Chain A
Amino acid sequence: MTQRTYAKILTVFAASCALVGCSKSWPMFRHNTARAGRQSDRSRLSKPSEVANLKVVWTFSPSGAQGFYSSPIVHDGRVYIGNGNGVFYALNEKTGAVVWQYPSGTPLTSTFVCNPSSYGIASSAVATRVGGKEAVIFGAPDQASGAHLGDGHLIALNAETGALIWESPAVAQVTGSGPNDLHEQIGYSSPLVFHDRVYIGIADHCDNPIQNGKVMAVHLSDGTIDSAFNYVSTSTRGGGIWNSPAGHDDDLFVTTGNTANGNVSQPAVNHGLSMLRLNKDNGSVVWQHQPVPYVLDDDPDWAAGAVVMETSCGRVVTSQQKDGWAWSVDSHTGGVRWAFPTGPWATSGFQPADGTVHGDTDYKRPGAAWGNVYVGVVGGLDTTTNLSGGYTQLHALNVCAPENRRVRWIKDVPATGGGGYPLGPPTISHGIVYVGTNEGHLVVIADPKVAPPSGWRCSDPNVPLPTCAILGGLGSVVRLVPDPVILKDIALPGASAIFGEPALVGDRVFIADTGGKVFMLDADP
């Protein structure tokens, strides 16, 4: 075998490892293309006895920093992250020193700035290879094109040097502020590198009126738009993609935002407020799960993206809408496995007379998948009576269990009194959950499988414990569940609210805050 053949095999081997998540890295938002938010490598971060050693080693804050609304990725010794100031940074993983930054000139910002998704770079990057070179790809506004207002582009940089490899044509267009102008944006969507394409979700700046949601695909090799792929959410406007597409095998999954805002009647084609499986080659809809009908659409965007889970009961896609309900769906057929909390909607969707509320509430963060368990910020059993009760909690849900064993545990996360959205997206490594809070804390929680819980509580937080214990014995969904132990609650020095996810790499945690700081913590004493 020639050296060239060996090199090819090694390349394919490395790519295969990246796909299964076998690497000392966190190469993309939620770690892998399934958006599981899980680190499968064992390290000190997956050992309860070692987590107590976590301490901050370095902090990075760029000059002119705005908030970090994207999350750090870590690959091959470097941390990559974009800031609200429109600059993308590569940092030394061990020291936090800047290796390079991009661009050197005019920052990548938009003229439309009405919420955090609009400031600079809110799109988390993905590490990949382009033309045989290590590369990082992210989405960003760039006022150099079109009407010079900040069209959204995908940008591929050489991971070692920061040199531009390609910048895609505009995938999100901004033509003006009038009601008939386009004001599309990439926002929080993080690119998905999948089968030689790069997919990105398109939502809008500032609503008013909302734009037609899209998934755009460009060729990985050169960033040109793949015209064979075409997905738009509606025949008019609505269904913005506020999250990051997920991919698994040949399937592409996204969730979509609301449709009613800006339409006088339901569009003939309405893929808004849905979980979707798309054909990766042409963008056609393979199945659609739309539990909230147009008549009940009071803006419960499906902002948390799809999480693809390989479980003992098959492959499912799990997520929750802004209204607090979580859904698990068969990935092949789109059939509903369960809704949480359950009710008649699990089989027939929500109905106008069922009294449920579907508005602009704050269940927006993607959950984490660990085997048969989904960990996320969801509404809980009392969603119908106490809609905001779940904002400061993490629920672990048994995906394959019967209804009355759905709740695995519930944790009230501390340091969540700072207003706004209390919790960022959780990440997990072998049962140890990491989550950032709006008071700038990193909180580490142990599933009872790996460390004894602090006690028992009720799956419906409002039911007195003695009553709950009796009901549980009768097989009710209202029953005692563990209250997992907190292994560590770290106030990150000078930190503001945390919006993004903790990246777990080896013994280290990387996390950024909305005050413009990136922190590296190490559990190696």
Chain B
Amino acid sequence: MKHRVFTFTYGVAALAAGIMFCQAGCRSESEQDETALLAEARPDETNFSSSTAKNPYKEVATNLLARTVFETTGPNGIKIEIRDLFVPPGKTAEKVSLPGPAILEVLSGDGKMTSGEKSQELRIGMTVAVAQEAAFSLESRDIEPLVLRARVFAP
């Protein structure tokens, strides 16, 4: 009986040692340690990679980026344009107007739109109508950028 207990204990100890050896051999350094956050870019970083977006935004006003996603000519010569508007997180964009009446849909972020005396809260999924040549400003109130997709119908 004593011999059997000894054998069992010896066997379990050998097994545990084996597994520990096995695991140690696998992971000389913790993979969680290996994957600590990388250093941030320096404020004056200029070593930019050559990767380029197919259709990047361009700055069209202070704190407002825009790009045309699609454009075509509709009935009666109306120019239909789908344009994305991008306000950086936490920023207020300079007032702008669009070349025709437009419907704006919020694709990302939340914030506020102000046109004349009126202001409108913006949340993802909302749509807002804008009259032709009405000047408006956009404000982002999120860590996400405020992105709107405008469908513009220019005469």
Q: A13-B15, A461-B51, A462-B53 are in contact. Are A403 and B143 (CB under 8 A)?
A: yes
In this complex, the interface size class of chain A, counting residues with CB under 8 Å from chain B, is 35 or more
- A295 adjacent to chain B (CB < 8 Å): no
Q: Cα distance A472–B56 when bound, in Å?
A: 18
CB A47 to nearest CB in B, in angstroms, measures 13
Q: Check B15–A12 contact: CB distance below 8 A.
A: yes
Q: Mark A443-463, 1 if CB is under 8 A from B, else 0.
A: 000001100011111001111
Q: Mark A319-360, 1 if CB is under 8 A from B, else 0.
A: 000000000000000000000011110000001011110000
Q: Check B11–A384 contact: CB distance below 8 A.
A: no
Q: Could you say which residues of chain A place their CB within 8 Å of the CB of B124?
A: 343-344, 354-356
Q: When the two chains form the complex, which single residue of A20, A398, A410, A449 contacts B34, counting CB atoms closer than 8 Å?
A: A449
In this complex, the interface size class of chain B, counting residues with CB under 8 Å from chain A, is 35 or more
Q: Check A476–B143 contact: CB distance below 8 A.
A: yes
- B14 adjacent to chain A (CB < 8 Å): yes
Q: A343-B144, A448-B38, A463-B65 are in contact. Are A41 and B26 (CB under 8 A)?
A: yes
Give the contacts of A176-205 with B (CB-CB under 8 A). Answer: none
Q: Check A9–B15 contact: CB distance below 8 A.
A: yes
Give the contacts of A376-416 with B (CB-CB under 8 A). Answer: 384-386, 398, 401, 403-405, 408-410, 412
Q: Check B40–A472 contact: CB distance below 8 A.
A: yes
Q: Cα distance A341–B147 when bound, in Å?
A: 13
Interface stretch among A148-156, A209-217, A365-373? A365-373
Q: Mark B15-41, 1 if CB is under 8 A from A, else 0.
A: 100110011011110111111111011
Q: Cα distance A477–B147 when bound, in Å?
A: 14
Q: Could you say which residues of chain A place their CB within 8 Å of the CB of B35?
A: 370-373, 398, 431, 449
Q: Could you say which residues of chain B place their CB within 8 Å of the CB of A409?
A: 38
Q: When the two chains form the complex, which single residue of A9, A41, A469, A477 contacts B144, counting CB atoms closer than 8 Å?
A: A477
- B101 adjacent to chain A (CB < 8 Å): no
Q: When the two chains form the complex, which single residue of A16, A370, A464 contacts B22, counting CB atoms closer than 8 Å?
A: A16
Q: Cα distance A401–B36 when bound, in Å?
A: 9
Q: Check A9–B48 contact: CB distance below 8 A.
A: no
Q: When the two chains form the complex, which single residue of A351, A431, A463 contacts B86, counting CB atoms closer than 8 Å?
A: A463
Q: A21-B26, A351-B125, A455-B47 are in contact. Are A463 and B41 (CB under 8 A)?
A: no
CB B128 to nearest CB in A, in angstroms, measures 12
Q: Cα distance A311–B37 when bound, in Å?
A: 13
Q: Mark B113-155, 1 if CB is under 8 A from A, else 0.
A: 0000000000111100000000000000001110101000000
5 inter-chain pairs at a CB distance below 8 angstroms, sorted by A residue, are: A341-B144, A371-B31, A398-B37, A464-B56, A471-B89
